[in-house]
Amino acid sequence: MIQTVINDIKSKVVGAKQIVFVSGNFNVIHPGHLRLLRFAKKCGDFLVVGVNADRENGPTLISENFRLEGVQSTSWVDYAFILREPPEKFIRELKPKFVVKGQEHENQMNPELAAAESYGGKLLFSSGDVSFSSVDLLRDEFKNLSFSSIVKPKDFPERHGFKMPDLLAVVQKMKGLRVVVIGETIVDEYVTCDPLGMSQEDPTIAVTPVARDRFVGGAGVVAAHAQGFGAEVHFFSVTGKDEAAHLVRDSMKERGVDAHLYVDESRPTIRKERFRAHGKTLLRVNHFHQHPIGRDMQQKILRDLTKVLNDTKLLIFSDFNYGCLPQPLVEEIIALCLSRGVMMVADSQASSQIGYVSRFHDAFLLTPTEREARISVGDFNAGLVVLAEMLRTKARAKNVLLTLGSEGLLIHAEVSSSDKWLTDRLPAMNTAPKEVSGAGDSLLTCASMALAVGADIWQAAYLGSLAAACKLSRLGNMPLTANALTMEIKS
């Protein structure tokens, strides 16, 4: 068998091309695999991939033939086959110039090393470099000719045993769910400008503002999303004593959210101005103070939250790291939830600021970006699956949804009645987003509410991704509704 494959490979390699070899399970081709294969392809001229054969009780989600098809469809792979022998045995026979493995294997036992060194080959470890070309990914790996900006993948539901009517039932169950949302309120302002051109005095772009639209964002839009999906929502947040605070209070009242807003006169209500022209953002200006709220206010929030927690099924931490959720307050809330059996989920955003999502320990779900996960565990080289497991272990979380922007979503999921974990991926469902901000808030809200009403992690991830795609279809942080989500599921 080995010799047949090797003869076939050599018949396709013309001249003195350098062969590179990679092997693995490749359950579902996710962005981490694509990074590995792209790195391997750059190391030589002809990339050979061995897809591990099915094994009884082995760590594979789908059959070997389907896994092989996934690898063969990847543009960087020149030759792929089912590997039925140990990789080191095949390496000794093929004698590739380079053998490539993921960075996470560097400090482990690697039998491929001795096999490669026996004939002068080298074992290389690919980088977990964050800089990955999503343009290449979309162009080469996920071409889609649909004219709709939202494309729902069909293979994921089939793989995990659910159908669209099952998702509709989950959305129906969300109605009346008791939810607490706590975190920073942000007022998003969109200043639409008419571009005038380049200033004659200095090299500055000159614009004239023609319209100003304001939306309640941050944890405020998470609360509004939850209410839009049918939940009964208690919202806890901190504002300044200013006009923006009145906007937040009025907006929450209008949407039927029970808002507990605490005024801190030492800070303004967080506000982010975006100056836009011709559909593009030219500049964002942030107005905030980042110091933590005082202990007296923390205690008041805790007392008020305790009063509503008995009837609550889900608590959402929507953290933006501007001081609303100091760690002592977080620890006390976590202890309350654990003692009362309240499901906790968390997102802790770190864009212009730094935060650690792992501080929300013992959560049922965490939804960080790749960068936020790497900051939280202090590792910028590990592969995506290893990164998700490192975060899960550090935070003692049940499930991790690693958001990857245009590369989609990596699901690192708990398996019932087992210590094992499974990983799968969902591509980004919106192929032409109008704006990228706010998608994580809708994903967090929808996925966590689905889990709270009994959906499994696969259904929750799918619904959350679909909610994010709906959000990306329009500009501004407008809350989603159950009706909008239902219509998209049915379409």
Regarding whether 159 and 79 lie in a shared domain, the answer is: no
pLDDT band of residue 142 (cuts 50, 70, 90) is very low
Per-residue confidence (pLDDT) for residue 370, from 0 to 100: 94
Tokens encoding 79: 């030759």
Regarding whether 405 and 315 lie in a shared domain, the answer is: yes
Per-residue confidence (pLDDT) for residue 148, from 0 to 100: 54
Q: Which of 114, 141, 168 is the last residue of a domain?
A: 141
Which tops the pLDDT comparison, 354 or 339?
A: 339
Asked if residue 84 belongs to a domain, the reply is yes
Which tops the pLDDT comparison, 383 or 461?
A: 461
Per-residue confidence (pLDDT) for residue 129, from 0 to 100: 45
Regarding whether 162 and 276 lie in a shared domain, the answer is: yes
pLDDT at 472 > cutoff 90: no
Per-residue confidence (pLDDT) for residue 219, from 0 to 100: 96
Encode pLDDT of 216-255 as tens digits: 999 999 999 999 999 999 999 999 999 999 999 999 999 9
Across the range 120-143, mean pLDDT stands at 53
- CATH number for the domain harbouring residue 323: 3.40.1190.20
Alpha carbons 64 and 49: distance in angstroms, whole number: 13
Asked if residue 452 belongs to a domain, the reply is yes
How many CA atoms within 13 Å lie on the side-chain side of 229? 32
Alpha carbons 423 and 459: distance in angstroms, whole number: 14
Which tops the pLDDT comparison, 179 or 208?
A: 179
Regarding whether 297 and 442 lie in a shared domain, the answer is: yes
Regarding whether 114 and 172 lie in a shared domain, the answer is: no
Quote the number of domains for the chain.
2
For residues 43-59, one letter each, b for 16 or more C-beta atoms within 10 angstroms of the residue's C-beta and e for the rest, the string is: bbebbbbbbbeeeeeee
Asked if residue 225 belongs to a domain, the reply is yes
Across the range 422-446, mean pLDDT stands at 88
Lowest model confidence (mean pLDDT) among 200-214, 283-297, 305-319, 323-337: 200-214
Per-residue confidence (pLDDT) for residue 449, from 0 to 100: 98
pLDDT band of residue 56 (cuts 50, 70, 90) is low
Encode pLDDT of 384-429 as tens digits: 989 999 999 999 999 999 999 888 999 998 766 555 678 899 999 9
Per-residue confidence (pLDDT) for residue 130, from 0 to 100: 39
How far is it between the farthest Cα atoms of the chain? 77
pLDDT band of residue 59 (cuts 50, 70, 90) is low
Asked if residue 150 belongs to a domain, the reply is no
Average pLDDT along the chain: 88
Asked if residue 149 belongs to a domain, the reply is no
At residue 300, what are phi and psi to the nearest 5 degrees? -65, -45
Regarding whether 301 and 177 lie in a shared domain, the answer is: yes
Per-residue confidence (pLDDT) for residue 192, from 0 to 100: 85
Regarding whether 174 and 94 lie in a shared domain, the answer is: no
Regarding whether 130 and 13 lie in a shared domain, the answer is: yes
Regarding whether 181 and 86 lie in a shared domain, the answer is: no
Residue (of 468, 484, 482) closest to 434 by Cα position: 468
Regarding whether 210 and 162 lie in a shared domain, the answer is: yes
pLDDT at 332 > cutoff 50: yes
Asked if residue 148 belongs to a domain, the reply is no
Regarding whether 121 and 170 lie in a shared domain, the answer is: no
pLDDT at 7 > cutoff 80: yes
pLDDT at 137 > cutoff 50: no
| CA 149 to chain centroid | 19
Residues of the chain above pLDDT 70, percent: 92
Q: Which of 108, 141, 174 is the last residue of a domain?
A: 141
**Placement of tokens 């808002």 in the chain:** 259
In the sheet that holds 314-319, the strands lie side by side as 258-263, 232-239, 178-183, 314-319, 343-348, 365-366, 399-403, 409-414, 421-426
Asked if residue 472 belongs to a domain, the reply is yes
- pTM for this model (two decimals): 0.79
Which tops the pLDDT comparison, 385 or 355?
A: 385
- CATH number for the domain harbouring residue 12: 3.40.50.620
Regarding whether 164 and 133 lie in a shared domain, the answer is: no
Alpha carbons 73 and 65: distance in angstroms, whole number: 12
Asked if residue 306 belongs to a domain, the reply is yes
Residue (of 144, 160, 174) closest to 462 by Cα position: 160
Alpha carbons 177 and 187: distance in angstroms, whole number: 26
Per-residue confidence (pLDDT) for residue 190, from 0 to 100: 87
pLDDT band of residue 61 (cuts 50, 70, 90) is low
- For 50, the domain range is 2-141
